[in-house]
Structure 1
Amino acid sequence: MKTKHKWTFAPRFRRQAFGWRSQPAIQRVEEAVAEIKAAARQDPVLAAEGAVLFLGKVSPALEQVDSSSGAIGSAVNYAIETLVPIIAKAPVDEATRSGWLDRLWKAVEEDDIPYIEMLPEYWGELCHTPDLASRWADELIHPVRITWSEDRKAGGGYFKGTSACMSALCSAGRYSEVLSLLDLAPYKFWHYRQWGFKALIAMGKRAEALRYAEESRGINEPVAAIAAACEEILLDSGLGEEAYQRYAIEANQKTTYLATFRAIAKKYPHKAASD
């Protein structure tokens, strides 16, 4: 009988394991990610199991950490971005993957702070196959419709699975349903409308995607993210000059003028500094 692997990080991430200081928690998160990445080089399935275990334990362990600086949140987001591909690419059967997804979904539902709120955005990738993604979309789409139904629009509603549903629909190739579902939303919120943008791109409707993104602008919407999406469409379409004129500054805004200049210069090497 195969001995169960003992992860070094596992006992360190018991519920409320950390105090208010963020640095010790950040260090442990980084160590856990490094341990899982090292395992992935030898045993991808074991590493994926470790990633699922970590993502299920991390939020309860960090409940008491002071997250006001954003540092611990950034560390967890980096962990999610790193571990999702390990889980998604692991060569396992559907039953194993379904079990992983059930465990991850339980973690999302119990994520009260929240620390792993980014995870649902990768749900389609985690499903790995269009069939599994489609089944998850079927599970999640009804609650989204209820949340955005007419009688809820006045006060609005929130469902943790909205991004997961959109992600799963896109991975399943159900692009028209993404757009029709977004039509029910009581407000234009780029966090969700980005999935409509991606759906239009996947359908080959780049001009419509550009208009869709522009129509998503609003007082509280992320200007840089929307501009970056529009810029990418134009660059991919060979319209570099138009991309430069319309979106270069908004899409590449950094914390200093020099950093902004360098970002633009890197993306548009044909432009002179005087431009």
Structure 2
Amino acid sequence: MWWYHLVGLIWTSEFILACQQMIVAGTVVACFFSRNKSKLSSHPLLSSISILFCYHLGTVVKGSLLITIVRIPRIILLSLYNVLKEKENACARCMFKCCFCCFWCLERGLRYLNQNAYTATAINGTNFCTSAKDAVLILSKNPAETTAINCFSDFIVSLGKVFVVCFTVFGGLMAFNYHHELHVWVVPLLLLTFLAYLVAHSFLSVFQTIVDVLFLCFAIDIETNDGSAEKPYFMDQELMNFVYQSSKLEKEIRQRNKKTLHNTEYGIELQPMVRNKVQAV
């Protein structure tokens, strides 16, 4: 019976997270695909929430159900791994680790697919399967830009988390330093660090979601419009320049790494020894 409660708890948490992603996606889409940015709604979040509960609850339920279906085998494998951890069966432990990693990668991929499907749903109003298919087709046409934006967002999010945690630890050390009556301050400092990481992760995950939604909106805008007077772009010129410069930098880094690898491999090969003939005088 407790398995039903566990599945319900996981599905509920994933449903709440999916609703948050859908609300953010709807807000960004409404602001992006607007010709007159000065006449936007004064409450875009409330409008996105009302659209979600009126039209797109089925999409959110399907997306959260997929994540729940993938997470349940991970939990089962983790419990079995903890049972086999005390035994000396190295082969079984290795197999469980491989399966656990595969399910983890599958879950990360599904989360990324769900986010793009929610964005396509907010743009076109289609169902979950159609939106996921359209998002995959659009992203597959822009592989360089997708890689560049993902690397940029991951780097900014990781840097932000490190900065917030380090700043919190430094502030905690300075605060505890002025209270000499505290003899055991390691535990409060660790608790403060953990809470700082949770807060940073919560806020920066919203930033990462916005970056992903903006890029998919950019890709759809490029696909459907050509910048002419009949079909002008919805995006700003600054956004277009930033995306193209990021993709160009990513291509240059890849070409440079390929050249470096080729030169290294060529340099370690054994070259034939050439001896000059010295004529005796």
Q: TM-score, normalised by structure 2?
A: 0.24
Greater relative contact order (Cα < 8 A, sep 6+): 2
Higher Cα Rg: structure 1 or 2? 2
Q: TM-score, normalised by structure 1?
A: 0.25
| Higher helix proportion | 2
